[in-house]
């Protein structure tokens, strides 16, 4: 019974555009845990016992909160479902500080990707073109890997069913458009029948696992060191870099800044402009711009 209720709740939320794959996996585990106890309703004690099995405070808090959200939904229809105390497990998931690439580092990464083996294969062209496209557009890696040849249009890239199920058009600079066309010329000559834009050595859709494996080699060849704490630059940090550079180019006037922010948010495919404003904390340049705007405001000048 509890498993069925969980699936109904997930279906309701997915209708609003949420994927919830991790929610489904964890809540199904919770339902199985409750079933072993002979329970078909959410019990606070059971939720606490289940979440306590996780290895880290962050995992315990995160998984427990998913049960709390479920319980609030179910309790509205059936009071027999207990709502666990929301703050029983304290922990906060911190966003990792992004690595903002310099122009020189971006160039070295693309050049290192172009030197990948095996020789005469499509792999180096695929990786170098994909990384260059990410730096030029700020696409999510999942969006780049999902691109099909038909999504490359004269008006730009058609990003289909991205985060929250949205589709958007991403205009391209002429240099980016030209780079993709050169890649397609080579790709058509050696790749198979798969219609994905970026393909593996076997001619099938390039997987995220394949990208990660190649990325480690690219980082090493480009000579990018790990940061303090051992964290290495990530592929996703390319998207952060694009967003930060786009925000650094914002105009001075308040009305123009608002339009600029909305344009950047739309281009990146953010569902909420607050997600775009988060990037303002990423570099000293952006922080300085914010501080200068605040100073002008308090001095009575127009920001």
Segment 120-139, tens digit of pLDDT:
899 999 999 999 999 999 89
pLDDT at residue 74 in the model: 95
Q: Which of 171-185, 186-200, 217-231, 288-302 comes out lowest in average pLDDT?
A: 288-302
User: Rounded to an integer, what distance in angstroms lies between the CA atom of residue 293 and that of residue 303?
Assistant: 5
Residue 99 DSSP symbol: P
Whether omega before 50 lies within 30 degrees of 0, making that bond cis, reads no
Q: Return the active site residues.
A: 140, 163, 236, 239, 270, 279
Whether 84 contacts 47, CB under 8 Å: yes
Mean pLDDT of 146-167: 86
Q: How far from the centroid of its chain's Cα atoms is residue 155's Cα?
A: 24
Tokens at 104, concatenated: 């020189």
pLDDT at residue 295 in the model: 53
H runs (alpha helix) in the chain: 2-14, 21-36, 44-51, 57-77, 103-113, 123-137, 141-146, 174-190, 208-222, 237-248, 254-268, 273-277, 284-298
């Amino acid at each position: 019974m509890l498993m069925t209720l969980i699936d109904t709740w997930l279906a309701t939320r997915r209708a609003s555009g949420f994927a919830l794959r991790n929610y489904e996996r964890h809540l199904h585990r919770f339902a199985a845990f409750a079933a072993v106890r002979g329970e078909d309703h959410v019990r606070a004690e059971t939720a606490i016992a289940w979440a306590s099995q996780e290895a880290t405070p962050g995992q315990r808090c995160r998984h427990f909160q998913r049960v709390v959200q479920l319980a609030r939904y179910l309790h509205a229809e059936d009071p027999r479902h207990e709502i666990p105390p929301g703050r029983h497990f304290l922990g906060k998931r911190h966003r990792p500080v992004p690595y903002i690439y310099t122009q020189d580092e971006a160039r070295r990464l693309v050049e290192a990707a172009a030197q990948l083996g095996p020789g005469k294969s499509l792999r180096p062209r695929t990786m170098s073109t994909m990384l260059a496209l990410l730096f030029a557009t700020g696409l999510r890696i999942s969006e780049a890997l999902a691109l099909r040849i038909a999504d490359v249009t004269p008006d730009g890239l058609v990003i289909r069913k991205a985060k929250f199920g949205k589709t958007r058009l991403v205009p391209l600079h002429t240099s980016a458009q030209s780079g993709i066309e050169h890649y397609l010329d080579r790709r058509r000559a050696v790749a198979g029948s798969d219609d994905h834009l970026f393909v593996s050595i076997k001619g099938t859709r390039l997987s995220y696992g394949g990208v990660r494996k190649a990325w480690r080699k690219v980082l090493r060849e480009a000579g990018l060191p790990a940061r303090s704490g051992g964290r290495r630059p990530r592929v996703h940090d390319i998207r952060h870099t694009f967003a930060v550079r786009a925000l650094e180019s914002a105009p001075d006037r308040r009305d123009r800044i608002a339009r600029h922010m909305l344009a950047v948010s739309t281009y990146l495919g953010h569902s909420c402009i607050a997600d775009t404003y988060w990037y303002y904390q990423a570099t000293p340049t952006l922080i300085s711009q914010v501080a200068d705007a605040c100073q002008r405001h308090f001095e009575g000048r127009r920001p």
